[in-house]
Chain A
């Protein structure tokens, strides 16, 4: 059992200390992922590298949320928000509070995403908001 999350039915709940980090290129292809991300999403790092980041996107997430994310980071700003992700099997999911920021890696724009645990109230609010999108 991982020490960075607990399981409640189909939901994986991040621990307070969990810190998920990943980096993508300008097209959203994963170039690196840390242990916590691999652990909660049930992937090995080599399975994630080279794949689009939406490999963990849960179908419940509205497209508008990601449009807002991309529109924000492409202008060089930080995007923060709540995201529902799925695990590799697709049978489980986990919510994160994501902070995404564009960086320069060897002259090319990359994006780094850091995720932490959202509260139960924040998840409820996000679910309600996303239903309206």
Chain B
């Protein structure tokens, strides 16, 4: 096949299998050595090793992104509405995670605004300061919308 020796063919086949295992996350790391006798096959092995390294960068970015998102959601459960700041670690990340993060950040920002409005509303009520009416589209509108959504 491709005019290569059987031993080189097996080396190449093994390297492709290792790449497959790496991409499918059956292993966490892989290193492909150019151990073939043929210079051309070694060139292919070199490329495979480089591609695996590039994929590792993407996978590492995805792990970190997923971790930060998980951490932020976990924090939110305790009432800490922190946004996820991961601009530097998403350069290689997947599009899906980036979109998820953007959505999450938008949601957190809106929730923070909502809670801030509620806090402000309660503060005004507790201080008998109702000279300025609540905004028609204020937090009570959001809560009503949430209620209607849940019914």
Contact = CB atoms under 8 A, between A and B. Distances in A.
B85 interface: yes
Interface string B34-70: 0000000000000000000000100011011011101
Residue with the greatest number of chain A CB neighbours at <10 A, chosen from B26, B28, B68, B89: B28
Secondary structure at chain A's binding surface: helix, strand, loop or mixed? strand
B29 interface: yes
B74 interface: yes
Contacts of B60: 78, 80, 99, 101
A53 interface: no
A11 interface: no
Contacts of B29: 80, 97, 122
A113 B64 CA distance: 7
Given A103-B89, A118-B28, A122-B29, A34 B64 contact: no
A70 interface: no
A114 B74 CA distance: 14
A105 B86 CA distance: 10
26 contacts: A19-B66, A19-B70, A21-B70, A21-B71, A21-B74, A32-B71, A32-B75, A34-B71, A76-B88, A78-B61, A78-B64, A78-B89, A80-B28, A80-B29, A80-B60, A97-B29, A99-B67, A103-B86, A103-B88, A105-B85, A114-B63, A114-B66, A116-B28, A118-B28, A119-B26, A119-B27
